Amino acid sequence: MMRTTRIVRGSCHHDCPDTCVWDVTVVDGRAVRLRGNDDHPTTRGQLCPKVNRFLDRVHHPDRLTSPLRRVGAKGGGEYETIGWDEAIEAIAHHLRTLIAGPGPASILQFSFDGTQGVIQKGVLADRFFAAIGAADVRRHLCGVTAWLGAADVSGQPFGIDPEDLVHARHIILWGTNTYLTNRHLWPFIEQARGAGATITVIDPIRTSTAERADEFLQIRPGTDVALVLAMIHVLDRDGLLDAGWIRDHTSGWAELQASAAAMTPSLAAPIVGISAARIEALAHSYVANRPSAIRVLVGPEHHEHGRDIMRAIAILPALTGAWRDVGGGLARSTQIYFDTALGRPADADPARRRFNMARLGEVLTDRSLDPPIEALVVHNSNPAVICPDQNAVMAGLAREDLFTVVIEQFMTDTARHADIVLPTTTQIEHLDLGIAWGHLYLSLNQPAIEPIGDTLPNTEIFRRLATAMGLDQPGLQDSDETLIRQLLDSGHRWLDGITYERLQERTWCRLAVPRGHRPNVDEPTGTADGRLRLGRLAHRAGRETPDGDGRPRHPLVLLSRKQYLGFLNANYGGFDDHLPIEAEPLLQISGVDADDRGLVSGDRVRVFNDRGSLSLVCTHSDDVQPGVVAIPFGWWHRHSSDQRGVNALTNPAVPSDDLGSAAFHDTLVEVEKH
């Protein structure tokens, strides 16, 4: 019999800036090979180590392929197989009962970036939950604080096209591990260096990117604002600022100038942890080597005053006029370009009840809420692993009276606590539209194989739930193709020439943003008066830091880092083939702090604070400075003897207005020999 072979092009959906385009080789209906597309301008034939093994995930023996109903205790992982009709009706029955009883606000939708494909991420899910009036989460765990901080300066926080970094002559990689987590940008960084650019890394941890930099400034965690103020002090003192630019393009310079006047390099040095001479050299290099660009993503935002940090970083190019040069300015997430072009996300319904997702543990365990949360529907997320204050989250998930539905591909730590688990398709089994937060190429992901087993796309699951609930609002039965066409029909100029048919033909299209586009120069700044906002700026220590108010209860700052090539986020943290050789998370501690506690590499230690404790093996590391320890993020619970991950320790505090990330990196712990 003749075998049929075809190649189907699609795009990666993972929470990553790169959104690579890939080619799937399908033989007789089975995907047998996947590789990066050679022609895509940023993928260039290369995928990352985790996605190189994506087909192992698709065909994994532990893949969920049928709906399941819990038959044992929550968390025990005991389930029986049921059919789709039975599963959908069971869910619809519970939801109808709650709507008629305590009300729809007792139902909580929880989702995040398990897929970044626009369609499967939640277009129909959002329509469904809005139609029944359910509560929702503010998806602020990552990215929103960075957006808000930059928006405080420019109104609409557009950054430069990251590809334009090739034109820069000084690139500051600020709190971002580009070589590991944004690997397809690294060749552009190297191209700039080959043309004479200096690469500076600012980070509290010595990362793989820091090891490749021309200059590495290892600052104390959360002290970025003090560093920025000291840089501005030097620039003003030494007459290196452009008075004309400041006069014509900014507001609030007098207030910023007064703020910086007090932060001399010698005063900043002990706060920041680097010498005054290095601060002065950084300030001079930043303005002397043009174009000068700062690349920042979300790393610095995870502090109590993370919005201040992100605003401070955005102030530097606003103050110096770095935006004037192609390749200069701020290179941040490009997702705002796609959201603007596609007209998404739609304005949130102000009538719906909302909670910051970092507060999930608090929300699920607070029975005084009116009404309390009685049902939880999770899709595209594993909150048992990714949310701070993990012990509170697990206590909430363990509630026998909480009806929980999880839509998943594998039996995650969250799914193990579900009453109903619904199996969903992987990226090569469904249609989707890919955006990026690291480049400007829109992509169409076309299904390469039929869904495995009885799996369904997220969209089809919510179409069936809508039918079972008797919902007839417009749009709840739209096909995936219709949803994509609706987005592409926004009429925005950046979608000129991009149609569904064109994407079918070539898979990706660059948004119609001009090459060399200079935000805040080639088009008006998005503030009310069209000026970049400067204004007062102050370094403030977070409450749970060594310099915070009151006597710190524990002496060491804990950073939860993305560390391994095989997995960065929780998507692969439970797969043995993706784990490092130790097959368990390790605590990194400096030699100084280890000696103070009588610890040697290989000792098992207890890491603890008032939220919880972990038993881990420690290793001495030069990656962390004295006073700082690190534990990797994303491990599933079974890889720890405590059945917990680093988020059992992390700080869940969010801003008082409930907008923005939790203060993950403002976490204090102690370490002792176990």
Angle subtended at Cα 146 by Cα 610 and Cα 613, rounded to the nearest 5 degrees: 15
- Can you name the residues that pair with 8 across neighbouring β-strands? 24
Please spell the DSSP secondary structure of 54-112, one letter per residue: HHHHHT-TT---S-EEE-S-TTS--EEE--HHHHHHHHHHHHHHHHHTT-GGGEEEEE-
- For residue 1, the model assigns a pLDDT of 60
On the question of pLDDT at 224 being above 90, the answer is: yes
Residues of each domain in the chain carrying CATH 3.40.228.10: 144-332
pTM greater than 0.75:
yes
Question: Of 317, 168, 153, which is closest to residue 235 (Cα–Cα)?
Answer: 317
**Residue 387: φ, ψ to 5°:** -85, 145
Q: CA 422, 423, 427, 431 torsion: positive or negative? A: negative
Q: What does CATH list as the number for 556-673?
A: 2.40.40.20
On the question of pLDDT at 576 being above 90, the answer is: no
On the question of pLDDT at 237 being above 60, the answer is: yes
Lowest mean pLDDT segment, chosen from 288-302, 335-349, 506-520, 624-638: 335-349
Residues of each domain in the chain carrying CATH 3.40.50.740: 68-141+363-479
Confidence of residue 574 (pLDDT cuts 50, 70, 90): confident
Q: CA 603, 607, 613, 616 torsion: positive or negative? A: negative
- For residue 640, the model assigns a pLDDT of 86
- For residue 577, the model assigns a pLDDT of 82
Q: What CA–CA distance (Å, rounded) separates 208 from 180?
A: 7
The answer to whether domain 68-141+363-479 has CATH 3.40.50.740 is yes
What is the pLDDT averaged over residues 520-536? 96
- For residue 349, the model assigns a pLDDT of 73
Confidence of residue 275 (pLDDT cuts 50, 70, 90): very high
Helix or strand (DSSP H, E) at 403: strand 403-408
Residues of each domain in the chain carrying CATH 2.40.40.20: 556-673
- Whether 408 and 415 have beta carbons less than 8 Å apart is answered as yes
Confidence of residue 252 (pLDDT cuts 50, 70, 90): very high
**Residue 139: φ, ψ to 5°:** -85, 70
Cis ω for the linkage preceding 371 (within 30 of 0):
yes
What is the pLDDT averaged over residues 393-397? 98
- Whether 91 and 129 have beta carbons less than 8 Å apart is answered as no
- Whether 356 and 137 have beta carbons less than 8 Å apart is answered as yes
Would you give the distance in Å from CA 109 to the centre of its chain?
Answer: 19
What is the pLDDT averaged over residues 609-627? 96
What is the pLDDT averaged over residues 488-501? 97
What are the residues whose beta carbons fall under 8 Å from the beta carbon of 524, sequence distance 6 or more?
530
Residue, of 133 and 580, whose pLDDT is higher: 133
Q: What CA–CA distance (Å, rounded) separates 666 from 537?
A: 20
Average pLDDT of the chain, as a whole number: 96
- Whether 298 and 335 have beta carbons less than 8 Å apart is answered as no
**Residue 380: φ, ψ to 5°:** 55, 35
By residue count, the chain amounts to: 674
Radius of gyration for the alpha carbons in the chain, expressed in angstroms and rounded:
25
- For residue 348, the model assigns a pLDDT of 62
Helix or strand (DSSP H, E) at 137: strand 136-138
On the question of pLDDT at 347 being above 60, the answer is: no
Confidence of residue 564 (pLDDT cuts 50, 70, 90): confident
CATH level 3 topology of 144-332: Dimethylsulfoxide Reductase; domain 2 (3.40.228)
